[in-house]
Structure 1
Amino acid sequence: MKAFVVTRYGKHHVHATEVPQPMIGTRDVLVRVSAASVNPLDVMVRNGEFKQLLKYRPPFVLGHDVAGVVIEKGAEVRGFSIGDQVYARPRDLRIGTFAEYIAIDQDDVALKPTALSMPEAAAVPLVALAAWQILVERAHIRPGQKVLVHAGAGGLGSTVIQLAKHLGAHVATTAKGARAELVRDLGADIVIDYTAQDFSQVLSDYDLVVDSVGGENLMKSLTVLKPGGRAIGVTGPPDAGFAKQLGAPKPFEFVLSFLSRKVRRAARKLGVRYSFFFMHASGTQLRELAALYEAGHLRPVIDSTFPFDQTLEALAYVENGKAKAGKVVITLDQRA
């Protein structure tokens, strides 16, 4: 089968090549890929940014999101049949959606929402799981609470806005002026044009900030939180909790604690909290999210699509910040 393979870590070492079709385990489904989407995480993994914690050994197939059709299943698989249309974010160390086929553990897979096309469904898993795990699992957002979402027009931001509103939150977001209409349509109550206004000068008393920008933007985000509020960073700096989540040896907890010391210290002084977020695969949560997409409470936002043969161009498009709103999707035309 054709796949896009990381031959060694670094920007110029992803190549289209022929690799064997995956063998399935007893708990796996073999999925014929109809569409996949590109995430900043793909670029980070390609570059080896997590190689001390996520030990991918080149050569490996890249790609974290998929929608497709089950064509084979293992002996212990329950709840899926040949021909089922599914979507998934395969678990860490078993990624590889930039390929014609992928074997996925049944626990990471869910039936595709019937309301979504294959490309739309492929745009969903990683960002929807991240939004769910941030808002529901970690922050326990309740009606009436205030949530600030940075980069609201992005793949993650656009999903967090919608889910936060569904949960009853008051939502503010930052976005370029041209994207204000989109984020308001997604449910944002307040839109700050970050090119013209400093959000930290106009917002206050927020329960949660979801930050995908990092750096000084994250530090300023701490100042808009109410006492006891929480900032969750998805681009870093990572903290000791990240090492624990991945089951890394104890020394890594100390290293990552050191890397995040500045922001954690600033948070303590303000009486607020900071934590790093890295999502995990969950077919169970994807089933819950599918119901929200079916009901129209959530909808995917797609910036552009690329044919499978142009996967490298799609990666470059995301890496260079060309996506204006939502996700970039790769399609295998004859199947999508």
Structure 2
Amino acid sequence: MKAMIIEKYGKFPLKLADMPVPTIGENDVLAEIVAASINPIDFKIRDGKVQMLKKYNMPLILGNDFSGVVKQVGKGVTKFKVGDQIYGRAAKDRIGTFAEYIAIDENAIAMKPKNLSFEEAASIPLVGLTSYQAFHDVLKLSSGQKVLIHAGAGGIGTFAIQLAKTMGAYVATTASKAGYELVRSLGADQIIDYKNEPFEKILHDYDGVLDTIGGKTLEKSFEIVKPGGQVISISGLPNARFGKEYGAGFLKTNLFRMVTLKISKLEKQHNVKYTYLFMKPSGEQLNIISELIELGKIKPVIDRIFPFEEAQNALEYLETGRAKGKVILKIRN
């Protein structure tokens, strides 16, 4: 099969290569991929920035979520059959959606929403599961609560705004002037121009923050959350609670100790809980998301669709930070 691979970590161009079609296990399906989503995690993996969490063998096929058609099922598969149209997010140790086929556990996939194209469906799994797990599992967001979503016009932001509104929350978001119309159309109640307005001086008494940026933005987010609230980040470094759960070796690094100390100090200073979210694949949660999409409560937001052969251009485009919504790779016509 054709696949886009890297042969070593670093900012090297993706290489189109012939790779073996993956073999399936007892609980796997073999999916023919129609479209894949491009996400920041893809260039972070390429650059070796997630090695504290996961080390990969080379050559490595990039890509984390997809839509496609079931071509083969393992002996233990009970939820899907050949011909089913599916979408999903691969487990971190089984990534590889920039390819014509992928073997994936049946519990990591769901039936594609009936009202979406394959390209639209491919835009959903990673951002949808991240948003759902942040708001439902961690924050336990309820009607009337206030949440700040950073980078509202980005891939996760465009989904997270819609999900938070379906849960009855008041939503503030940061965006550039160019993204105002989009985030307002998705339901944002308050928009902060991140280039000219300091959100930490404008917002206060929020129940939670979903941070997709990290750094100083993450640190300033603690200032707007009321005591007992939460800051959730997908871009900061993991904290001690994450390390204990996953048993990661980065707990012993000096960098981890330095960052953890700073985050722990902010937690105590503001009486706010910090959670680093490393999203987990879940077909069950994708079924819930599918229902919201089919009811018209959430819609996909796609910026551009690139042909498979232009995967490198697609990755570079996402890295510019100018994309409004998702960037999609069309694997098959």
Residue 193 of structure 1 pairs with residue 193 of structure 2 = yes
Range that drifts further, 228-237 or 253-262? 253-262
Instruction: Report the equivalent of 2:130.
Output: 130
The residue type equivalent to 1:278 in the other structure is F
Q: How far apart, in 2, do the equivalents of 1:59 and 1:159 lie?
A: 32
Report the alpha carbon displacement of residue 51 of structure 1 after superposing the two structures with TM: 1.6
Q: How far apart, in 2, do the equivalents of 1:59 and 1:246 lie?
A: 25
Report the alpha carbon displacement of residue 259 of structure 1 after superposing the two structures with TM: 2.4
The residue type equivalent to 2:121 in the other structure is A
Report the alpha carbon displacement of residue 196 of structure 1 after superposing the two structures with TM: 2.3
Report the alpha carbon displacement of residue 79 of structure 1 after superposing the two structures with TM: 1.3
Gaps of 5+ in 2: none
Distance 1:75 1:252, change over 3 A: farther
Distance 1:26 1:274, change over 3 A: same
Equivalent runs, 1:243-258 vs 2, <5 Å: 243-249=243-249, 251-252=251-252, 256-258=256-258
- Would the aligned equivalents of 2:13 and 2:312 in 1 still touch at CA under 8 Å? no
What are the Cα deviations for residues 241-272 of structure 1, in whole angstroms up to 9, with x where unaligned?
Answer: 33344342595498635422212202311222
Gaps of 5+ in 1: none
- Would the aligned equivalents of 2:99 and 2:331 in 1 still touch at CA under 8 Å? no
- Would the aligned equivalents of 1:36 and 1:122 in 2 still touch at CA under 8 Å? yes
What are the Cα deviations for residues 256-314 of structure 1, in whole angstroms up to 9, with x where unaligned?
Answer: 35422212202311222222111111111111111011111111111101000001111
Q: How far apart, in 1, do the equivalents of 2:251 and 2:268 lie?
A: 23
Q: How far apart, in 2, do the equivalents of 1:245 and 1:161 lie?
A: 28
Distance 1:164 1:57, change over 3 A: same
Residue 202 of structure 1 pairs with residue 202 of structure 2 = yes
| Number of matched pairs | 333
Q: How far apart, in 1, do the equivalents of 2:142 and 2:33 lie?
A: 37
Q: How far apart, in 2, do the equivalents of 1:252 and 1:278 lie?
A: 19
Q: TM-score, normalised on structure 2?
A: 0.96
Range that drifts further, 165-174 or 237-246? 237-246
Instruction: Report the equivalent of 1:54.
Output: 54
- Would the aligned equivalents of 1:7 and 1:58 in 2 still touch at CA under 8 Å? yes
Range that drifts further, 256-265 or 225-234? 256-265
What are the Cα deviations for residues 138-157 of structure 1, in whole angstroms up to 9, with x where unaligned?
Answer: 00001000000010011101
- Would the aligned equivalents of 1:234 and 1:278 in 2 still touch at CA under 8 Å? yes
Q: How far apart, in 1, do the equivalents of 2:331 and 2:252 lie?
A: 40
Q: How far apart, in 1, do the equivalents of 2:75 and 2:37 lie?
A: 29
CA RMSD of aligned residues (A): 1.5
Equivalent runs, 1:187-336 vs 2, <5 Å: 187-249=187-249, 251-252=251-252, 256-323=256-323, 325-334=324-333
SS where residue 31 of structure 2 aligns?
strand
Residue 90 of structure 1 pairs with residue 96 of structure 2 = no
Range that drifts further, 255-264 or 150-159? 255-264
Residue 162 of structure 1 pairs with residue 175 of structure 2 = no
Distance 1:153 1:82, change over 3 A: same
Report the alpha carbon displacement of residue 180 of structure 1 after superposing the two structures with TM: 1.0
Instruction: Report the equivalent of 1:69.
Output: 69
Q: How far apart, in 1, do the equivalents of 2:232 and 2:189 lie?
A: 20
Instruction: Report the equivalent of 1:33.
Output: 33
Instruction: Report the equivalent of 1:79.
Output: 79
The residue type equivalent to 2:52 in the other structure is Q
Q: How far apart, in 2, do the equivalents of 1:122 and 1:258 lie?
A: 37
- Would the aligned equivalents of 2:87 and 2:122 in 1 still touch at CA under 8 Å? yes
Q: How far apart, in 2, do the equivalents of 1:252 and 1:172 lie?
A: 37
SS where residue 321 of structure 2 aligns?
coil
Q: Where do 4+ consecutive residues of structure 1 move more than 3 Å?
A: 244-247, 249-258
Q: How far apart, in 2, do the equivalents of 1:252 and 1:115 lie?
A: 47
- Identity, % of aligned pairs? 46
